[in-house]
Structure 1
């Protein structure tokens, strides 16, 4: 998978499909989440070809903190499934950037 493929397959696409009644997600919280996820990918891409683990983890921390803020702002819309989807997205992007880790790279800062 590449960064471009990941950008086209954000978890928010599935969230909208699964939320047929529009009970959980709004255009506003989905749009805000997409902005944060796109920014995360862009920031990883800016690191270049051989970023250090510390550089990648700094970007991971930034996206987790921003998602914490979104979750708080939009009445805690991130539940178990969304948490798993977001983790998978964040972890996959970090691995594309070159991170080698088998641990939960979001756990230290995650509030969702």
Structure 2
């Protein structure tokens, strides 16, 4: 149960509510649609990790991250304005936090750059 709870607690660090508050102050890129779409990617990542379970292989867990990062890559292709420096930093930190909660040693990927750097194009 601790595994499930650790993963779920990563949602406390989601930036999406803050982003939407910026949209309400005039930052158009943080529309409700964009925030929901990105939140869903992270929600799906956490759900998939919960479903495969704590004892899943590293390869299985990494596949869930690859799927999430590839989804973010597609968003970046469609909406290049949405993922810039601040968002990149938020995503990498959040992905690594989720990776730690999933029991992965995030510093051992991509020469210490973290899990997202294995696949990200943003």
Runs of 5+ consecutive residues of structure 1 not aligned to the other structure: none
Q: 2:6 aligns with which of 2, 9, 28?
A: 2
Query: What are the residue-to-residue correspondences of 1:35-74 with 2, within 5 Å?
Result: 35-74=40-79
SS at match of 2:121: coil
Moved more, 9-18 or 101-110: 9-18
Larger helix proportion of the pair: 2
Change (3 A) 1:101 1:75: closer
Q: Distance in 2 between matches of 1:109 and 1:49?
A: 23
Question: Judging changes above 3 Å, is the alpha-carbon distance between structure 1 residues 75 and 100 closer, same or farther for their aligned structure 2 residues?
Answer: closer
CA contact (8 A) 2:29 2:81 kept: no
What TM-score, normalized by structure 2, do the two folds share? 0.81
Gaps of 5+ in 2: none
Aligned residues: 112
What is the CA distance between 1:28 and its match in structure 2? 1.1
8 Å CA contact retained: 2:16, 2:39: yes
Normalised by the length of structure 1, the TM-score is 0.87
User: Which residue of the other structure, out of 104, 111, 115, is the alignment partner of 1:105?
Assistant: 115
Distance 2:90 2:19 in 1: 9
- Partners of 1:31 and 1:74 lie apart in 2 by 14
CA distance in 2 between partners of 1:88 and 1:81 (Å): 11
